[in-house]
């Protein structure tokens, strides 16, 4: 199965990611993150609004001047004061948003759709006059009436934006719904489409992938998926999702840098890489149960849809536990230079299982058992 060719990652670790509970990146850390993402090859890096704090504004200017290959975006309200700050601090692109759903229109900003469009016209014109790439997003798109969404996107396209954005701000959308809504919008505009999906109900990666299949060109991600509440689609998650369907789509990225990127940001946040993180979790390529290890030893593709070597990772096979099988035991014996008959390997596996029922095991204990067959 091949996937659409137009694919751009908008990494928003330095904006959405800064909204994560334990994030407070220093200027040095912000720059380090931007440089790692640039080396990886993301096409866009989104930074916190320069209106957010004086240091955020200074860091936007520093990173925008750095000469990175990635385009430096800032995420701002659809507001002239914010737009002026974006221009003054050298942002190459502005990701504008306005909440359009009924619940958010009421409590977030109180504007009608007509008022939103009037403000958008002024801000978009100003930014385009200053050569800034503009994206306009309807915050909370999936609780916004589809007719309202289409009306707004058509209007802002006429105003000159390069891209429109759909955001599942509260993580409520289902993959099928994302596919349908993005397809409907795709049919109404010719500009690029960005998608931003939250993970409140566990669908961030699935929804972002469905948006891509339906015609979204720009996919929002953060390192480890950090963001407000429990975050958005992770960079590793999207790479895994796409690579397992169509590896050609992601060959242009420095995939081997992913483990280092995730590890560095996790350390900055004071957290571990989550056990279920695609690609970079310590156990992402770890095989344990006997039926799995037998097959993986014969052909890793049996239980691996991704090749760990692509990401600078190595597979590991666990044998110090009671779910072990004789094939894995025989393989470990071979590594130690001991040749076991099938009967011996089965007997050794049975011994390991019995011991594993009694207490925790480690590699040294298993090797000791195997050496006893060499005597
Ligand atoms: C779903 C998301 O993640 S959206 C991105 C969220 N990002 C941020 O909030 C960035 C960090 N935020 C901040 O530093 C501050 O909220 C600021 C600087 C942006 C604004 O701070 P304040 O002026 O103190 O306002 P406050 O945050 O309390 O309220 C938001 C204001 O923005 C207005 N507003 C909200 N959304 C928008 C929008 N999309 N476009 C224009 N104005 C908006 C609200 O009406 C309110 O204006 P008011 O002061 O006239 O009532
Ligand atoms: O600007 C956007 O498209 C996304 C903003 C955001 O973080 C959200 O809606 O969750
Ligand atoms: Zn968000």
Instruction: Answer yes or no: do 261 and 315 share one domain.
Output: no
Give residue for tokens 């489409």.
193
Give residue for tokens 């200017």.
61
Say what the pLDDT of residue 2 is: 86
- Sign of the dihedral through C-alpha 17, 21, 22, 23: positive
Catalytic residue list: 292
Domain boundary among 242, 269, 296: 269
Instruction: Answer yes or no: do 184 and 332 share one domain.
Output: no
DSSP 3-state of 96: strand
Tell me, yes or no, whether 279 lies in a domain.
no
Domain boundary among 235, 269, 303: 269
Nearest to 239 by CA among 273, 275, 209: 209
Please state, in angstroms and rounded to a whole number, the distance separating the CA atoms of residues 313 and 297.
Answer: 17
Per the structure, the count of domains in the chain is 2
- Contacts with 349 (C-beta within 8 Å, 6 or more apart), sequence order: 290, 324, 325, 326, 328, 329
Please state, in angstroms and rounded to a whole number, the distance separating the CA atoms of residues 94 and 124.
Answer: 9
Q: Which residues pair with 232 in a beta bridge?
A: 198
- Residue 194 Cα to ligand 3 middle (Å): 12
Tell me, yes or no, whether 275 lies in a domain.
no
Tell me, yes or no, whether 2 lies in a domain.
no
Q: What stretches of 180-327 adopt beta strand conformation (E)?
A: 192-197, 218-221, 286-287, 316-317
- Residue 53 Cα to ligand 2 middle (Å): 19
How big, in percent rounded to 5, are the helix, strand and coil portions of the chain?
50, 15, 35
- Residue 208 Cα to ligand 3 middle (Å): 12
In CATH, what number is assigned to the domain containing residue 97? Answer: 3.20.20.70
Instruction: Answer yes or no: do 16 and 105 share one domain.
Output: yes
- For ligand 1, whether the C-beta of 59 sits within 6 Å is no
- For ligand 2, whether the C-beta of 119 sits within 6 Å is no
DSSP 3-state of 196: strand
Give residue for tokens 């929804």.
207
Domain that holds residue 152: 8-269
- Could you please report the per-residue DSSP string of 23-47? ----HHHHHHHHHHHHHHT-SEEEE
48, 108, 127: which to mutate for ligand 1, most atoms within 8 A of CB? 108
Instruction: Answer yes or no: do 135 and 187 share one domain.
Output: yes
Tell me, yes or no, whether 71 lies in a domain.
yes
Low-confidence residues of the chain: pLDDT under 50: none
Instruction: Answer yes or no: do 261 and 301 share one domain.
Output: no
- Closest-CA residue, ligand 2 atom 4, reads 167
Domain boundary among 269, 301, 329: 269
Q: Which residues pair with 4 in a beta bridge?
A: none
Instruction: Answer yes or no: do 213 and 294 share one domain.
Output: no
Instruction: Answer yes or no: do 212 and 293 share one domain.
Output: no
- Strand pairing class (71-77; 218-221): unpaired
């Amino acid at each position: 199965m091949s996937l659409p060719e137009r694919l751009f990652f908008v990494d928003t670790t330095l904006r959405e990611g800064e909204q994560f509970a334990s994030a407070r990146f220093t200027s040095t850390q912000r720059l380090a993150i931007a440089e790692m993402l640039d080396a990886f090859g993301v096409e866009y890096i989104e930074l916190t609004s320069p209106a957010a704090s004086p240091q955020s504004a200074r860091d936007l200017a520093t990173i925008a001047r750095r000469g990175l290959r990635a385009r430096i975006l800032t995420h701002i309200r659809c507001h002239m004061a914010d737009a002026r700050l974006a221009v003054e601090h050298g942002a190459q692109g502005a990701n504008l948003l306005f909440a359009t759903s009924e619940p958010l229109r009421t409590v977030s900003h109180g504007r009608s759709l007509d008022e939103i469009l009037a403000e958008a016209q002024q801000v978009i014109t100003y930014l385009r006059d200053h050569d800034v790439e503009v994206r306009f997003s309807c915050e909370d798109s999936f609780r916004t009436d589809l007719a309202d969404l289409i009306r707004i996107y058509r209007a802002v396209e006429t105003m000159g934006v390069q891209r429109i954005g759909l955001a599942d701000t509260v993580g409520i959308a289902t993959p099928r719904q994302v596919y349908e809504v993005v397809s409907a919008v795709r049919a109404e505009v010719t500009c690029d489409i960005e998608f931003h999906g939250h993970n409140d109900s566990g669908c961030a990666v699935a929804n972002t992938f469905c948006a891509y299949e339906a015609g979204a060109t720009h996919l929002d991600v953060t390192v480890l998926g950090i963001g407000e509440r429990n975050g958005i689609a992770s960079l590793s998650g999207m790479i895994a999702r796409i690579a397992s369907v169509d590896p050609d789509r992601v060959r242009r990225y420095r995939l081997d840098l992913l483990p280092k990127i995730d590890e560095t940001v996790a350390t900055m946040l004071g957290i571990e890489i989550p056990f279920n993180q695609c690609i970079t979790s310590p156990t992402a390529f770890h095989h344990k149960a006997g039926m799995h290890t037998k097959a993986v030893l014969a052909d890793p593709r049996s239980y691996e849809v991704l090749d760990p070597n692509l990401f600078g990772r190595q597979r590991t096979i666990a044998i110090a536990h009671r779910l072990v099988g004789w094939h894995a035991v025989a393989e470990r014996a071979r590594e130690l230079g001991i040749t076991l008959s099938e009967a011996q390997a089965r007997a050794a596996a049975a011994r390991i299982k019995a011991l594993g029922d009694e207490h925790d095991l480690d590699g040294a204990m298993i090797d000791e058992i195997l050496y006893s067959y060499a005597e």
